[in-house]
Amino acid sequence: MRIKQHPIIDDYGKGAQISFTLDGKPMVGYEGDSIAAALHAAGIMTHRYTAKRHTPRGVFCCIGRCTDCVMIVNGQPNVRTCITPLEEGMEVQTQYGVVNREQWEADHQ
Amino acid sequence: MMRHDLIVIGAGPAGLSAAIEAARLGMDVAVFDENARPGGQLFKQIHKFFGSKEHHAKERGFRIGEDLLADAEKLGVAVHLNATVMGIYEGREVLVKHEDETVHAKADAIIIATGAAENMIPFTGWDKPGVIGAGAAQALMNLQGVMPGKRILMVGSGNVGLVVSFQLLQAGCEVAAVIDAAPRIGGYGVHAAKVARTGVPFYTRHTVVEALGKDRVEGAVIAEVDDHFQPIPGTEKTLDVDTICIAVGLSPMSQLADTAGCDLVLDRKRGGTVPVIDEYGETSVPNVYCAGDAAGIEEASTAMILGRISAIRAAEKAGFLGAAEFTARADEYAASLSKLRRGMFAPQNKGRTDMTETDEGYPLSKSLLAHGFLEPNEVSAFPCATVHEVGVHPVIECTQNIPCNPCQDACRFGCITVGDDIVKLPVIDETKRCTGCGMCVASCSGQAIFLVDEAYEPGYASVGIPYEFVPVPKAGARGHALNRAGAPICDAEVVSVKYTKAMDKTVLLTMKVPAEFASEARFYRD
Amino acid sequence: MAKIIRRAPETAFVPQPDDDLIICRCEEVTKGDIRRVVHAGLSTTNEVKRWLRCGMGLCQGQTCQRNFQGIIARELGVSPADIGRITGRSPVRPATITTFAHEVTEQKEA
């Protein structure tokens, strides 16, 4: 959920609404959002499933250190979504291990 | 290969201050920071800072960040962003990664000001989405404008845990509880008090044992701990939360000092493994310095001075500053630093649990340390909190020796005195007339000053409180007054709402309460 | 600097209820994994890192180092300072090989 009114911060410096996709589904965010912020605002918590235990992970440190929030962005895996600015038309995919869901399922049949 | 007089690694409070100081002395300075935005953690800090005027006291952290950036820009300091220093090599050479390129740079001196990383504690389910660091909560709500969650458990009661809890409330989130495994709240009492008076419970001697939920946090189990910090079976409590926020301390980031070959030492008072440094921050490798949290966890205010000290030393060694001028400045900065490194939260007192009274000899509040609020009988021990002059007057619930004095400068009528030793508790001069302007209320970084008039109307008192929430109630609104523990105690009517630009977003909200609650009513809720 | 500790823990490995707890989030190394290798004879932070890969994932030990160093030290009954820490060496952050191949050698304008 986005903060509508804040007692101290007047302006988060957000620009126009922009569109992107998550696993093919249309999503919206704003210029100035990180990918993670736009997802969090939309209630998306799971960014990836781990390689060994296949457990969900999401935002943890949010400053680009822990790398738990990595996703596949425009085909590139391991992109730290918390520090990567959202851009119009971005294709964001939930990361399974280091691949997307289709690849993961094909590899694990 | 780029060549500079000085390379600063990290554009936080220490790094920017160092760069500004060095650039003023004519040095060619390059600053490298791995983040997309400069300022380190300053832009997440929306609260007013402690200290005195020379330490930017009562300024909000993000404004200090803006000022530092403006100064750096004016002086032509090159701040390279998204520029990660990957290692420091012989001859003060660094390898910098910028986007998908690398570049080597070299300088006569290097200042490592890489700051700190958050400590984390593992517990069952801590890898679930919804368990986040305190810094993550700040990044989401203060930089991105997104609520980290609806209802949050805060783990850790140091200043970070307390400040972030308050910021979560300001962002419109609920804080279910603040817990700490230690028997006492770790941060400033005033930070705890402003959270407690909104009704947030504190559980000391408690730890989080499990994050519940399938694919995300849907609850938290906390439990009491024994003297060895082990959970006591049977004491578990389940809290209905969707987010668990971890604020259990910071560790200096010393990897780069390691790559440079600096001698490192594990020093708990400095928060972890840090380079061995001299009084100017110079490491065992000549002309490689370390300043700010990377050299030992402290406040941003100290980091800014430490950065300057390393910079003048580097400038002197490189011939940009004469010996006499260097000594004069070093003495000045050392004096400024020693003003901050005082009181019960000073680095040398870190971890001490044997302090029972203030420097003035007043008994420290046990309730404040255990529950986050002062008990009425404890307040009465402090003269600054128990003034009863006729008419409106300040009541300052400042009961720990914290280096801070903006209240003294705020009062134009000389009503409040802290003195040269800024760690002392304020003293109120009852002979000076209080006009009820509210500047002291807004100046107090701890939000610990209230304006009370016991005889506002027959049978009624007025209590003015610092208020930093939205929406701000309007004059005439009726609701409840809450006591220091956050419990509703009586009906209250908002009689005035005062805000001026100089108060910098701290509203003076004055409520009318039955006279017998004048010394208890400390928060308002509709 | 790590002391040379030439003794495995005196007591045998006893499973604990929280051995399944993830300590290194990146490489999914558990508390039990770490305790087991200490009982098998590893006694420094660097050794355990190399054997189990804890601290070798994308975050380079920034989240887990302090915790797994503590687990080893407790298991051995020594201070964390005695078993050393992960050696900080370049590159301190993950980077693709492509990045290293793109080295800018000419002086760039600031």
Cis before B406 (ω within 30): no
Name the domain count of chain A: 1
Cα within 13 Å of Cα(B235), Cβ side? 15
Q: Which of B35, B144, B505 sits opposite A37 (nearest CB)?
A: B144
Contact B97 C90 (CB under 8 A): no
Q: Which of A52, A67, A70 sits opposite C28 (nearest CB)?
A: A52
The residue segments making up the domain with residue A36 are 17-107
Q: What is the CATH number of the domain that holds C34?
A: 1.10.10
The residue segments making up the domain with residue C66 are 22-101
Asked if the C-beta of A63 comes within 8 angstroms of chain C's C-beta atoms, the answer is no
Check residue C109 and give its pLDDT: 47
User: How far off is chain A from C58, nearest CA to CA, in Å?
Assistant: 6
pLDDT of A87 higher than 90: yes
Band of residue C110 on the pLDDT scale cut at 50, 70, 90: very low
Q: What is the mean pLDDT of residues A33-56?
A: 98
Is residue A12 assigned to a domain? no
Bridging pattern class, strands B272-275 and B206-212: unpaired
Q: Which of A53, A65, A78 sits opposite C62 (nearest CB)?
A: A65
Check residue B420 and give its pLDDT: 92
d(CA B217, CA B129): 6
d(CA B475, CA B497): 6
Return the closest-CA partner of residue C54 out of B104, B122, A74: B122
d(CA B400, CA B368): 10
CATH number of B2-117+250-340: 3.50.50.60
Query: Which residues in B lie closer than 8 A to residue C21 (C-beta atoms)?
Result: 122-124
Return the closest-CA partner of residue B4 out of B154, B157, B111: B111
Check residue C4 and give its pLDDT: 63
Per the prediction, chain B carries an average pLDDT of 96
pLDDT of C1 higher than 60: no
**Across-strand partners of C30?**
C22
Return the closest-CA partner of residue A72 out of A22, A2, A33: A22
Is residue A10 assigned to a domain? no
Interface of C with B in 36-55 (CB under 8 A): none
Range(s) of chain B covered by CATH 3.50.50.60: 2-117+250-340, 120-246
Read out DSSP for B349-366? GTT-----B-TTSPBPPH
Tell me which CATH homologous superfamily contains domain B120-246. Answer: FAD/NAD(P)-binding domain (3.50.50.60)
> A77 or B347: which carries more pLDDT confidence?
A77
Please answer whether residues B10 and B17 qualify as being in contact, where contact means their C-beta atoms are separated by less than 8 angstroms: no
Contact B97 C91 (CB under 8 A): yes
**What is the Rg, in whole angstroms, of the alpha carbon atoms belonging to chain C?**
17
Asked if the C-beta of A72 comes within 8 angstroms of chain C's C-beta atoms, the answer is no
- Give chain B's residues under pLDDT 50: none
User: How far off is chain B from C50, nearest CA to CA, in Å?
Assistant: 17
Minimum CA–CA partner of A60 in chain B = B132
Please answer whether residues B372 and B178 qualify as being in contact, where contact means their C-beta atoms are separated by less than 8 angstroms: yes
* Cα B379–chain centre separation: 24
Q: In sequence order, which residues have a C-beta less than 8 Å from that of residue B367 and are 6 or more positions away?
A: B373, B374, B375, B378
Greatest CA span in chain C, whole angstroms? 63
Interface of A with B in 37-56 (CB under 8 A): 37, 40-41, 45-47, 50, 55-56
Is residue C57 assigned to a domain? yes
Please answer whether residues B490 and A24 qualify as being in contact, where contact means their C-beta atoms are separated by less than 8 angstroms: no
User: How far off is chain B from A107, nearest CA to CA, in Å?
Assistant: 23
Is residue C15 assigned to a domain? no
Query: Which residues in B lie closer than 8 A to residue C89 (C-beta atoms)?
Result: 87, 258-259
Q: Is residue C109 classed as helix, strand or coil in its secondary structure?
A: coil
User: How far off is chain B from C88, nearest CA to CA, in Å?
Assistant: 4
Mutate to test the interface with B, among C23, C90, C108 (most CBs of B within 10 A): C90
pLDDT of C108 higher than 60: no
Q: What is the CATH number of the domain that holds A60?
A: 3.10.20.440
Check residue B433 and give its pLDDT: 87
Asked if the C-beta of C17 comes within 8 angstroms of chain B's C-beta atoms, the answer is no
Copy the structure tokens of residue C23. 């300590």
Interface of C with B in 79-98 (CB under 8 A): 80-81, 85, 87-93, 95-96, 98
Asked if the C-beta of A82 comes within 8 angstroms of chain B's C-beta atoms, the answer is yes
Is residue A25 assigned to a domain? yes
Is residue A73 assigned to a domain? yes
**CB burial string B6-23: b at 16+ within 10 A, e below:** bbbbbbbbbbbbbbbbbb
Contact B87 C89 (CB under 8 A): yes
User: How far off is chain B from A42, nearest CA to CA, in Å?
Assistant: 10
Check residue A53 and give its pLDDT: 96
Check residue C5 and give its pLDDT: 65
User: How far off is chain A from B195, nearest CA to CA, in Å?
Assistant: 16
Query: Which residues in C lie closer than 8 A to residue A53 (C-beta atoms)?
Result: 22, 28
Bridging pattern class, strands B151-155 and B174-180: parallel
pLDDT of C2 higher than 60: no
Minimum CA–CA partner of B77 in chain C = C110
Name the domain count of chain C: 1
Contact A67 C59 (CB under 8 A): yes
Residues C54-95 have pLDDT tens digits of: 999 999 998 999 999 999 999 999 999 999 999 988 999 988
Contact B78 C110 (CB under 8 A): yes
User: How far off is chain C from B113, nearest CA to CA, in Å?
Assistant: 15
Query: Which residues in C lie closer than 8 A to residue B127 (C-beta atoms)?
Result: 22, 25
Check residue B443 and give its pLDDT: 97
CA distance to A43, A83, B86, B150, B335, per residue, from A5 (Å): 19, 24, 40, 15, 42
Minimum CA–CA partner of C104 in chain B = B103
Asked if the C-beta of C62 comes within 8 angstroms of chain A's C-beta atoms, the answer is yes
Contact B122 C67 (CB under 8 A): yes
Type of residue found at B201: P
Asked if the C-beta of A1 comes within 8 angstroms of chain B's C-beta atoms, the answer is yes
pTM, two decimals, is 0.96
Torsion of CA B62, B68, B70, B71, to 10 degrees: 160
Check residue B389 and give its pLDDT: 76
